[in-house]
Amino acid sequence: MSVHAVLRQVVLSAAFLLPVLFPAGFLRAEAGPETPWQRIVVIGASASAGFNTGREAGRTANIARIIEAMLKVDHDKVVNVSSGFFFMNPRWMGTQSVRRAVEVKATLVVAIDFLFWFGYGPKSEERRLEDLDAGLQYLAGLKCPILLSRIPDMKASVGKMLSARQVPRPETLEKLNKRINAWASERKNVVMVPMAEFVDDLRAGKGVSVSDIVYPPGSIRKLLQRDELHPTLEGLAAVTALSFIKFCESNKKVSVDDFERRPLVIRERVIAAIRAAKKRPGKLPAKEALSGDSKESEKDG
């Protein structure tokens, strides 16, 4: 018998034996089409990195960790590329963040506070606009859906976390956000989320809602830290839930039923997961170790 004949016989035998060796219950089903939830990458600054949330949770709880606690559907580990050091060099950090998202073939990029330090920082008003254009150019390299926010008015943090030199003038902030709006309106993959508006309403003493959860007027300390710049753990969960809800309004491939929408429930899940991880012996699991939880990530401005 020739070699080709022998190989043919082996292949045919293997084909007949497959149902015996691997019954229907053990055969791997074909993977369905990917959804935007499959490979989420979080890029951004200190808010996304969970600045100071370790005081509440026992360990830094960044947006990546919050998303893990929210999602009810199958997905890969959420990749965290946010950093509390973003303010030190927004252009370099921005390019590295986007490059990482491209490398892992992100199906969704959460960039809620990505543009903040392109507009803020100790620089001229003209440089703020130039830096913003650079930040938007970096984001233009992403083809997957991007959850993006306008730049919020954070002048209330002057003297607490920010200096007056770091804050854009009101007219400059307006120009920055007009450019963001115009840029986003030309791109179908960009979804503008209401983070800036959420913060503005809190500062104005208004009540705010997340799905069917209503926070009454005067809830600012529940959702925003005393530095007047960073969200609390529940506030970060609220902003993330709001962003996902907004995303679902524009994308038929996802549903609000795919994730937990109640900020307080999300907060408790995150804390429970952190406590459970602390009880495990040995080193942090890979998922914990790659979440940017080092103390250094909380030393930002």
Q: Is the whole model's pTM more than 0.85, yes or no?
A: no
pLDDT of residue 169: 98
Predicted confidence (pLDDT) per residue in 178-199, tens digit: 999 999 999 999 999 999 999 9
Which ranges of the chain have pLDDT less than 50? 3-8, 10-30, 285-301
Distance set, CA 295 to CA 37, 60, 277 (Å): 29, 8, 17
pLDDT of residue 295: 37
pLDDT of residue 27: 38
Angle at 232 between CA 229 and CA 233, to 5 degrees: 140
Strands 79-80 and 40-42: parallel
Residue for token digits 């001229």?
A: 124
Q: Which domains does the chain have, with CATH numbers?
A: 40-284 (3.40.50.1110)
pLDDT of residue 281: 67
Fill in the amino acid letter for 40. Answer: I
